Amino acid sequence: MSASGLILVFSDMNNIPTGMPPFLPLISFIVLFISLYIFYHYHLGRLKTTNLQELLWKVFVTGLIATILSLGIMLLEFLFSNHRVGENPLFINLHYFLNVGLILGFIVSTFVVWERFIFYQKSKRLIYSWRSFIYFLLLSLFLVFVPIDIGEPLFYVFIGLTFLVSIYFSVNLKWVAYLNYKQKWKSILLFILIVIYLGYFIQELSSYSGDIIILDLFTNITTLCIFTFVFVYAITSVLVLLFNLPTSSVFEKKLEEIINFQRLSQSRNTGKNKEEVYEILLESSVSAVMADAAWLDINQPENHEIKQLTYRISKNEILDVQEHIPKAKIQKILSTDPVKNLKTNRYIASVRDFKYRSILVFPIFIQNESFGTLNLLKEISDGFNDDMIGIIGTFINQASISIENFNLIDAAVENERYTKELNIAKTVQRSLLPAKLEKSNYYDIIGYSESADEVGGDYYDVFKINEDKTILIIGDVSGKGTSAAFHMSQLKGIFHSLVQLQLSPKDFLIYANNALAKGLDKSSFITAAYYIIDTKAKTIEFSRAGHCPTLFYDTGKRSANYFYGIGLGLGIIRNNEFYRYVNIDKIKYKPGDILILFTDGITETRNSDQEEFGYDRLKELIVKNANRTPNEIKDEIVQEMHSFSGSTTTEDDSTLIIIKFKENKT
Amino acid sequence: MITIETNTEEDFYIIKVSGEIDASSSIYLDNKIGEIIKSEKKILVDCNDLQYISSAGLGVFMSYIHEMEEEDIKMVLFGLGNNVKNVFHILGLDQLINMVETKEDAKSLVDAI
């Protein structure tokens, strides 16, 4: 230690009896003082610890070592007391200076540690006033050249000033609040021991006082000032610690509440799940109100059950409590809600002659929906104060937010998955429709299909068997979403398998019904219509299975008509009775005639008055636009539909196929 | 939106369906019919205030046809508006489900079949 080196130098110098200027030891003393301060200041400054307990422990240990060494010197003194050497002023001076070194080392290190304590929470003003205090002490250091005796007014001025300054700095005890109950006790003990050292050292110094030739530390202003400061600060610390003991549990509790609050609010980030939030809520609430028992009911609407989380209570005891609540005296209903309903309001109940004398019930709501109830029980009566209720309220609010966040994220994930699924279904559905329709010399054809937001199940296809015969199918699968797209793909498979067999429309529908009877779910069905266009014979042969009627425009009569005919949706009857419900229609066409196939999305388009577009409007549009091309007719219909509904999106899939027959080109 | 009211007259169980039966509301109708066919044999469905029925709604009626036949449960719909009737007609369900104009007709039809 540089300090001990300095002590040696100091002592050595004093051991030189003559030939030395008298101010040299005084200068050495000043140098020693300042170096000790600088040494400790930087030594302790390097310790980045904010743990003041550790620093206090250091002071205690330094004090202990100094005391032991000092006692050792005393023992040495005692051993030589009868010897000639013991009376030698040089010897006395030597061990006196050793003592001085130890004492100075101890009080300066303590001083520096106290400085750290004071600066636990710094302010500009505090730094300036502390700096002034240091300058003041530095100034006093040079007073060794002008010795002031005890009893002189200046002496009292210095000591008095230091005392007042010490009181001023002793207010800075903010660190006390951050100690827990145990740490406070420990600190009190350490402070008391430090005060005892200080007392011992003062006594030591006073015992030397008078014998000393060169420098009497007991009358040294700086030393006494530092002593005063260190002592005052230690005493006030002890007192403040003592007075803080009873409230420290409150502080700890608040701290715990804040930590619990944080746990509740950060549960999402820390990868916890909902169950853990429930547990934290129960645990934190129990510790906040010091409940003897508690349970948390969580409604589970998906299976109409109530999930229960319990703390020191059995299911039977809960039933017991629930039986007692109606008999209990409801102390207060803690709500501004005018309807004082026990189911929706928080309340405190007090029960007589029951194990639990106070019960606090807190219903939990998430987005105005009842989510569960928190029940806290205490064996003492009037066990819940307003502060506790406030805290429970905060905990519940925070837990609600956390749970709501969980729900929202779950919903978002679910929604995301649903949207993805829907997009897949849409892609599938889209790909099942023909990309483009084959051109023919005998007719112009246009197909149009508009999907609703949700996937529907409209299907159409065209298959050219040979130069003269073309097969057309249009279908609508009941229901929406992925199952509709799935059923639609079944229909497509059936169509492409059976179409090659050149069946009559009736037979096709009977086979299709048989095939679908095995593949559709109970409440699903498919409507379809099947057409064979013979361009040589100029006939259209068709059958309808519950599908929208066929619209046919006769250019000769300049009128359009629907062909209803009997029919029944596919999959409605799943036995071999189906044939009874199928009919075949056959019409002859002339060039200029128009065949229009559509799905109910077209006719069931509704306007704001819930009026349907209907069959008549469609028919009129066809008649009005009969001399135009199929594409133009289609555009006209789509535009009319959109302006009718006032929207460009449809509620259901809309499909339209328009075929206009031409003169046979030979 | 759909509202389903039920009551009994003599030994007839009457379900009054009002509003619109679409994909989402058809579930309620499905549950209701599924529940009452367990105990009732004579069911009348009052469609006087039924404004609209989608294919999903038709699917509900359709899905019980077979079961009702087997269990000898009689169901008659009455008071259907033109729009609704037309939807049943196009699908061909009117060939499988009895529909009449009035409640009295419905009662006598149930007793007759």
Residue A483 tokens read as: 């199952």
Residue A528 included in any domain: yes
Amino acid symbol at A348? I
Each residue of A403-425: pLDDT tens digit? 888 888 888 998 898 888 878 87
- Is residue A629 over pLDDT 90? yes
**The pLDDT of residue A611:** 85
SS3 annotation, A397-435: HHHHHHHHHHHHHHHHHHHHHHHHHHHHHHHHHHHHCCC
Residue A427 included in any domain: no
Residue A613 tokens read as: 């577009």
Residue range A134-140: mean pLDDT, rounded:
88
Residue range A143-169: mean pLDDT, rounded:
81
Q: Are A365 and A373 in contact (CB under 8 A)?
A: no
In Å, how far is A532's CA from the nearest CA of chain B? 21
Helices (H), A209-314: 221-265, 274-289
Each residue of A497-538: pLDDT tens digit? 999 999 999 999 999 999 998 888 888 899 999 999 999 999
Q: Are B81 and B17 in contact (CB under 8 A)?
A: no
**The pLDDT of residue A155:** 80
Residue range A123-137: mean pLDDT, rounded:
90
Residue A263 included in any domain: no
Name residues 271-310 of chain A within 8 A of B (Cβ): none
Nearest Cα to Cα of residue A309 among A289, A330, A286, A290: A286
CB contact under 8 Å between A574 and B95, yes or no, is no
Nearest Cα to Cα of residue A454 among B54, B111, B97: B54
Q: Are residues A235 and A93 in the same domain?
A: yes
In Å, how far is B61's CA from the nearest CA of chain A? 8
Q: Are residues A121 and A17 in the same domain?
A: yes
CA distance B93 to B55: 11
CB contact under 8 Å between A612 and B30, yes or no, is no
In Å, how far is B54's CA from the nearest CA of chain A? 9
> From the CB of residue A569, how many other CB atoms can be counted at a distance below 10 Å?
29
Nearest Cα to Cα of residue B61 among B42, B72, B39, B76: B76
Each residue of A598-625: pLDDT tens digit? 998 898 888 888 888 989 999 999 999 9
CATH node for B2-107:
3.30.750.24
Q: Is the dihedral of CA A566, A569, A574, A579 positive or negative?
A: positive
In Å, how far is B41's CA from the nearest CA of chain A? 21
CA distance A107 to A197: 10
Q: Are residues A198 and A245 in the same domain?
A: yes
Residue A419 included in any domain: no
Q: Are B67 and B34 in contact (CB under 8 A)?
A: no
Q: Is the dihedral of CA B100, B102, B107, B111 positive or negative?
A: negative
Facing residue for B92 by CB, picked from A479, A480, A581: A581
Cβ-based contacts of B65 with chain A (< 8 Å): 572
Lookup result for tokens 């006087």: B48
Q: Is the dihedral of CA B6, B7, B9, B13 positive or negative?
A: positive
Structural domain ending residue among the three candidates A357, A377, A410: A410
Helices (H), B1-113: 26-36, 55-71, 82-91, 103-112
Q: Count Cα neighbours of B34 within 13 Å in the Cβ-side half-sphere.
A: 10
Q: Is residue A322 very low, low, confident or very high in pLDDT (cuts 50, 70, 90)? A: confident
- Is residue A195 over pLDDT 60? yes
What's the number of domains chain A is made of?
A: 3
Which carries the bigger pLDDT value, residue A259 or residue A460? A460
Report CA-CA distances (Å) from A608 to A177, A602, A613, A621: 69, 16, 11, 21
Q: Which residues fall within 8 angstroms of residue A325, CB to CB, at 6 or more apart?
A: A349, A351, A359, A361
- Is residue A328 over pLDDT 50? yes
In Å, how far is B69's CA from the nearest CA of chain A? 12
Q: Is residue A333 very low, low, confident or very high in pLDDT (cuts 50, 70, 90)? A: low
CA distance A619 to A469: 27
Q: Are residues A463 and A400 in the same domain?
A: no
Residue range A247-265: mean pLDDT, rounded:
80
Q: Which DSSP letter does residue A123 get?
A: -
- Is residue A202 over pLDDT 80? yes
**Boundaries of domain holding A478:** 434-661
SS3 annotation, A459-514: EEEEEECCCCEEEEEEEEECCCHHHHHHHHHHHHHHHHHHHHHCCCHHHHHHHHHH
Number of residues assigned to chain A: 666
Cβ-based contacts of A610 with chain B (< 8 Å): 51-52
Structural domain ending residue among the three candidates A394, A410, A426: A410
Using DSSP's 3-state secondary structure scheme, residue A444 falls into strand
Q: Which residue of B has its CA nearest to A478?
A: B55
Which carries the bigger pLDDT value, residue A301 or residue A398? A398
Q: Which helix (H) or strand (E) holds A371?
A: strand A369-378
Residue range B11-37: mean pLDDT, rounded:
89
- Is residue A543 over pLDDT 60? yes
Sheet of A347-350: strand order equals A305-311, A293-300, A369-378, A358-366, A347-350, A329-333
Structural domain ending residue among the three candidates A257, A283, A311: A257
Q: Which helix (H) or strand (E) holds A332?
A: strand A329-333
Q: Which helix (H) or strand (E) holds A59?
A: helix A52-79
Each residue of A179-189: pLDDT tens digit? 888 888 999 99
| Interface probe, candidates B52, B55, B61, chain A, greatest A C-beta count within 10 A | B55
Contact of A572 with chain B, judged by CB distance below 8 Å, is answered with yes
**The pLDDT of residue A8:** 45
Using CB atoms within 10 A of its CB, is residue A449 exposed (0-12), middle (13-18) or buried (19+)? buried
Q: Which residues fall within 8 angstroms of residue A228, CB to CB, at 6 or more apart?
A: A159, A162, A163, A166
Q: Which helix (H) or strand (E) holds A568?
A: none
Q: Which helix (H) or strand (E) holds A133?
A: helix A124-141
Nearest Cα to Cα of residue A204 among A478, A571, A196: A196
Amino acid symbol at A584? I
- Is residue A214 over pLDDT 70? no
Facing residue for A566 by CB, picked from B59, B66, B92: B92
CB contact under 8 Å between A569 and B91, yes or no, is yes
* ipTM confidence: 0.89
Q: Is residue A191 very low, low, confident or very high in pLDDT (cuts 50, 70, 90)? A: very high
CB contact under 8 Å between A572 and B52, yes or no, is no
CB contact under 8 Å between A549 and B58, yes or no, is no
Q: Are residues A280 and A249 in the same domain?
A: no
Q: Which DSSP letter does residue A366 get?
A: E
Nearest Cα to Cα of residue A393 among A374, A407, A408, A377: A374
Least confident of A446-455, B22-31, B86-95, B101-110: A446-455
Least confident of A143-152, A462-471, A598-607: A143-152
CA distance A658 to A629: 9
Residue A199 included in any domain: yes
Q: Are residues A283 and A394 in the same domain?
A: yes
Residue A320 tokens read as: 């017991």
Nearest Cα to Cα of residue A114 among A266, A259, A232: A232
**The pLDDT of residue A5:** 40
**Number of A:B CB contacts under 8 A?**
65
Q: Which DSSP letter does residue A646 get?
A: T
Q: Are A590 and A628 in contact (CB under 8 A)?
A: no
SS3 annotation, A143-205: HHHCCCCCCCHHHHHHHHHHHHHHHHHHCCCHHHHHCCHHHHHHHHHHHHHHHHHHHHHHHHH
Which CATH number goes with the domain that contains A489? 3.60.40.10
**The pLDDT of residue A205:** 79
Residue A587 included in any domain: yes
**The pLDDT of residue A84:** 63
Residue range A86-113: mean pLDDT, rounded:
79
Q: Are residues A318 and A244 in the same domain?
A: no
Using DSSP's 3-state secondary structure scheme, residue B41 falls into coil
Which carries the bigger pLDDT value, residue A579 or residue A24? A579
Q: What is the mean pLDDT of chain A?
A: 84
Q: Which residue of A has its CA nearest to B92?
A: A568
**The pLDDT of residue A245:** 87
CA distance A604 to A618: 11
CB contact under 8 Å between A525 and B92, yes or no, is no
Q: Which residue of A has its CA nearest to B22?
A: A479
Question: Taking each helix axis from N to C terminus, what angle separates A274-289 and A221-265, rounded to the nearest 10 degrees?
Answer: 130
- Is residue A1 over pLDDT 50? no
Q: Which residue of B has its CA nearest to A545?
A: B91
- Is residue A259 over pLDDT 90? no
Residue A267 included in any domain: no
Q: Are residues A517 and A635 in the same domain?
A: yes
**The pLDDT of residue A288:** 86
DSSP of A336-364, one letter per residue?
A: --SS--TTTS-EEEE-SSSS--EEEEEEE
**The pLDDT of residue A296:** 92
In Å, how far is A600's CA from the nearest CA of chain B? 9
In Å, how far is A578's CA from the nearest CA of chain B? 11
Cβ-based contacts of B58 with chain A (< 8 Å): 478, 525
